[in-house]
Amino acid sequence: MNVFGDSGGTTGLVDDANSDEEENIAETITGGSGEDETGGAVDVLINTANKSISVAGPDGGDVSATNLFPSAASIYGDAIDTEYVSLVANDVTIVFGDEQGLPPSSSVGFSNLFAFVPNTNGTEFDVRFESDTAANASLLTEIGGTGLNSDDDTSNDPSFTISGVSKPNGQSAIESGDITEQPASVDTTTSDNTSQTLDITIE
């Protein structure tokens, strides 16, 4: 997903933006901007702090997570550092096992793999995840304890209600306590080059 184009030389990525640009991007995602001050939704981020997790750009090449939005310190409060990558602002592929590898034939759990930044106009949103592959063929198999699947029944997909927060003018838009996170599991019984498409719906 990428809703901004690019701020550098790589299409689909918001990289190396300065702090003012990043604050504007954060406001656009979670609070609306311009005439649409009641707009915005939520931001969904992937935590790449674990050495087994990285991200690739639209061309398949590795990119530095710390250069991608949000790269400025404390844009989303102290809970979100530069190891987190916005899946709303950046069109990236999540790569498991690239640098450090993963144990074979295992189910590997990652705590706090996904983070959610709430809407700052007090609006509640649901975030739903869906895979394009059957559960027994997936790499990413569970989010928040609920299995990913590819059927048409969205009622059993991993889904999380992100409550909005309301911030008075002059107060920091996002604080650490506003952030929610969810764990996820990866199945390594699949082949080394297993891939899947992860659809994220925010409504």
pLDDT of residue 143: 94
Whether residue 183 has pLDDT greater than 90:
yes
Task: Indicate the pLDDT class of residue 43, thresholds 50, 70 and 90.
Answer: very high
Report H helices in the chain: 19-31
DSSP structure class, residue 156 = G
Mean pLDDT for 84-112 is 88
Predicted TM-score (pTM) of the model is 0.87
CA-based nearest residue to 160, from 141, 178, 180: 180
CA-to-CA dists, residue 114 to 45, 110, 128, angstroms:
6, 9, 12
CB 23 within 8 A of CB 102: no
Task: Indicate the pLDDT class of residue 124, thresholds 50, 70 and 90.
Answer: very high
Whether residue 46 has pLDDT greater than 70:
yes
| Cα 119 to Cα 164: distance, rounded to the nearest angstrom | 5
Whether residue 58 has pLDDT greater than 80:
yes
- Quick one: CA torsion of 142, 197, 132, 189, rounded to 10 degrees? -50
Whether residue 3 has pLDDT greater than 50:
no
Host H or E run for residue 121: none
Please state, as a whole number, how many other Cβ atoms lie within 10 Å of the Cβ of residue 191. 9
Map out the domains of the chain as residue ranges. Answer: 19-202
Query: Please, which residues bridge with residue 143 across strands?
Result: 146, 184
Q: What is the mean pLDDT of the chain?
A: 82
Task: Indicate the pLDDT class of residue 25, thresholds 50, 70 and 90.
Answer: confident
CB 123 within 8 A of CB 164: yes
Token digits of residue 70: 């949000």
Mean pLDDT for 48-66 is 89
> Sheet containing 198-202: which strands, arranged edge to edge?
159-162, 125-131, 198-202
Whether residue 133 has pLDDT greater than 80:
no
CA-based nearest residue to 148, from 164, 131, 163, 128: 131
Whether residue 173 has pLDDT greater than 90:
no
> Sheet containing 93-96: which strands, arranged edge to edge?
62-63, 53-56, 93-96
Task: Indicate the pLDDT class of residue 2, thresholds 50, 70 and 90.
Answer: very low
Task: Indicate the pLDDT class of residue 114, thresholds 50, 70 and 90.
Answer: very high
Mean pLDDT for 18-35 is 78
Whether residue 127 has pLDDT greater than 90:
yes
Please state, as a whole number, how many other Cβ atoms lie within 10 Å of the Cβ of residue 1. 14
Query: Please, which residues bridge with residue 46 across strands?
Result: 85, 114
Among 32-41, 143-152, 187-196, the range with the most confident prediction by mean pLDDT is: 143-152
